[in-house]
């Protein structure tokens, strides 16, 4: 048997599980798979846009009724995302790509809203 590579330090620790049922819809599962590379990157290695995308995803989870102990805890997100990645029931690569694209569009519209808001206050 091969050795299991230990998790990076920022992904270690106790983890929480999401509220199951209607609180974690397919769209959120697809979006979690889309942000998994960001979660797996060390916080200091993330670009500003990646950090904003992760923050947007976490806010969507909170708005969807997930507890902060899960939504804001990267080791918990990583553990659940790794389980989703291994099972992939009904989660296609095309769906993950579409979720990633929608997160990018949402971030872009937020940035435009912020620009318009600053122009109106000037």
The residue assigned the tokens 């920022």 is 10
Residue 13, in any domain of the structure: no
* pLDDT tier for residue 1 given thresholds of 50, 70 and 90: low
Residue 40, in any domain of the structure: yes
Residue 72, in any domain of the structure: yes
> 7-37 pLDDT, tens per residue?
666 677 777 777 765 567 889 999 999 999 9
Range of the domain at 112: 21-121
Residue 100's Cβ-side half-sphere holds a number of Cα atoms within 13 Å equal to 14
The closest of 9, 106, 116, 114 to 53, measured between CA atoms, is 106
How far apart CA 115 and CA 95 sit, in angstroms, is 30
Q: How far is CA 73 from the centre of its chain?
A: 10
Cβ neighbours of residue 50 under 8 Å, at least 6 residues apart? 38, 41
Residue 9, in any domain of the structure: no
> 41-61 pLDDT, tens per residue?
888 888 999 999 999 999 999
Residue 113, in any domain of the structure: yes
Residue 112, in any domain of the structure: yes
Residue 5, in any domain of the structure: no
- Structural domains counted in the chain: 1
């Amino acid at each position: 048997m091969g050795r299991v590579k230990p998790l990076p330090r920022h992904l270690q620790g106790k983890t929480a599980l999401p509220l199951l049922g209607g609180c974690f819809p397919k769209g959120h599962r697809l979006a979690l798979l889309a942000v998994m590379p960001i979660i797996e990157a060390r916080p200091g290695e993330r670009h500003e846009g990646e950090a904003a995308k992760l923050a947007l995803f976490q806010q969507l989870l909170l708005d969807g009724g997930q507890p902060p102990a899960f939504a804001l805890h990267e080791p918990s997100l990583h553990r659940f995302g790794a389980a989703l990645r291994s099972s992939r029931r009904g989660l296609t690569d095309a769906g993950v790509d579409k979720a990633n694209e929608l997160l990018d569009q949402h971030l872009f519209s937020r940035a435009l809203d912020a620009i318009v808001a600053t122009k109106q206050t000037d």
